[in-house]
Amino acid sequence: MGKKVREFWGLGPKNELVFKEALFYDFLELHGYNRFSAFGVYVTVRLIKGVAFIKTPQDVFNDTLVFIKKQNDDALRTCWMKQGEDMLIKRKAILGSLPELNRERYMDTKEEVRIFYRNTIAVITPKGSRFESYKKFKKSGQFIFGEQIIQRNFHSDINENGDFAKFSSVVTNDKKHLLSYRTTLGYLISTYKNPSIARAVIVSDMQSQIENEAFGRSGKGIFIKSLSHMLQIAEYNGKATDLKHDKFVYQNVDSLTSLMVLQDVSKDFVFESLFSTLTDSMSIERKYQSKIAIPFSDSPKIALTTNYTIPQDSDSYKDRKHLVMLNNFFNAGNKPEKHFKRMLFDWNEKEWAKFDNYMAECVRLFLEKGLVSFVDKQFERQKLINQTSEEFVELIESQYCLLNQYFKIKEIAKVLDVGTEDASSKSRVVGKWIDLYAAYKGHQVERRISGGVVKICFRP
């Protein structure tokens, strides 16, 4: 508070030292204190160079005390200690009447992402990065919250691969797999929300997806933790969170939240419960407060981690999920700390600089290439075998995979072992397997019933 201001104290009617509310209001306004509506609740913020720092009444009291100490007047300091609490904490009129923050909150765009560090702002575009001062950002007329500033200095002269880059390489199989992994990180770091790619990111591992059983320690938690060092995350226990029936389920989401993560969702998780939240406004209800709706553009992105398959494969489901699969290089017997000989994210300044440069490049790749999906044909085939049987897949591929030709389901079923000898039951099971095979190949299944006999045909 180094600005020259009028004294907001003086002598009262009995010649005693008092603080004057109107002049104190002017003092706060001059030093950038404003009101801001944070999801229906007003909070006090102090704006400095385009950065809004949320302030409690106690914070404002403490800030003012620092200013008063500089006056080198013990009587004035004592008076503030007695009267300041009453002005700011017991009575809310002064802070409640401050002018509303008249700036638009900064959000990334389709072509440009800003990452805010202590010493600079990294401005990332599809072609590269440039750096911007907070002084220049202030002139944009926009603001960010102080909590959005990453408490590290960015060093653009670091080009080496660090621990996290090496981790990312070993948990992916090839360049295409790594590109999908990196563009996903970039997508989640960016605050821009494109309605055409409003998807939940599902982080799992290949073995879990094949077997639909838990194979932990593959690095899913590290993927999410890397993002927690870049943005504000609200984490939920995926097994204990009821998205469908708990009306207060999103109450931990606030104006600082960029990403909501459901950790370790269970095998019976109903993905459909996220549909409206992914594509529309997010409805938030807190106890003893009115329900509010956060517009789609301002609501956080959503990610899940799971050890199980998300079984729904219809087009509506596919359009709302983006799967990131880690291979099982890391497991219970081969943990990252054993591989790297130290804990990830327990780094010195140089290693953090390598991490920051790597993440900035992930953002650039996303801006250039979009959210890239990864399909591993060998994985998809093995998953199909696990969902059906190897005998079935080999039979279909050898005799029944031709397009535009009709085959009797009963004919296919009679030569397969599906765990039952009942002809009708066998046909029902094989009919479901045929649908899975068609989804795997990208075909449609056309069914025709004639004389009680069901025939199927694969269409492109």
pLDDT at 71: 93
SS3 label, residue 184: helix
Q: Is the dihedral of CA 154, 155, 158, 162 positive or negative?
A: negative
- Does any domain span residue 216? yes
Asked if 51 contacts 134 with a C-beta cutoff of 8 angstroms, the reply is yes
| Range of 264-268, 312-316, 355-359 with top mean pLDDT | 355-359
- Does any domain span residue 273? yes
Looking at the fold, whether 360 and 291 belong to one and the same domain comes out as yes
Segment 217-257, tens digit of pLDDT = 789 999 999 999 999 999 998 887 877 777 778 888 888 89
- Residue 449: which residues within 8 A CB-CB, separation 6 or more? 455
How large is the average pLDDT for residues 136-162? 95
Select from 378, 405, 430 the last residue of a domain: 378
Segment 169-205, tens digit of pLDDT = 999 999 999 999 999 999 999 999 998 888 999 999 8
Angle at CA of residue 244, ends 238 and 246, nearest 5°: 80
Percent of the chain at pLDDT above 90? 58
Q: Closest by alpha carbon to 53, among 25, 37, 33?
A: 33
Domain count, the chain: 3
Segment 5-29, tens digit of pLDDT = 678 999 988 889 999 999 999 999 9
Select from 378, 411, 442 the last residue of a domain: 378
Looking at the fold, whether 183 and 311 belong to one and the same domain comes out as yes
Segment 341-351, tens digit of pLDDT = 999 999 999 99
pLDDT at 314: 58
Other C-beta atoms lying within 10 Å of the C-beta of residue 309: 20
What CATH number does the domain containing 255 carry?
A: 3.40.50.300
> Which pairing describes strands 17-19 and 9-11: parallel, antiparallel, or unpaired?
antiparallel
Segment 45-88, tens digit of pLDDT = 999 999 999 999 999 999 999 999 999 999 999 999 999 988 88
Asked if 125 contacts 367 with a C-beta cutoff of 8 angstroms, the reply is yes
Looking at the fold, whether 351 and 395 belong to one and the same domain comes out as no
Helices (H), 370-398: 377-387, 390-395
Q: Which two tokens stand for residue 422?
A: 């009942």
Asked if 186 contacts 362 with a C-beta cutoff of 8 angstroms, the reply is yes
Which residue type does 252 have?
N
**Residue reference for tokens 């500033």:** 149
Containing structural domain, residue 266: 163-378
| Range of 159-163, 284-288, 381-385, 399-403 with top mean pLDDT | 159-163
Q: Is the pLDDT of residue 442 over 60?
A: yes
- Does any domain span residue 56? yes
How many whole angstroms separate alpha carbon 433 and alpha carbon 392?
Answer: 8
Percent of the chain at pLDDT above 70? 97
How many whole angstroms separate alpha carbon 131 and alpha carbon 422?
Answer: 70
Which residue type does 165 have?
A
Q: Is the pLDDT of residue 310 over 80?
A: no
How many whole angstroms separate alpha carbon 136 and alpha carbon 138?
Answer: 5
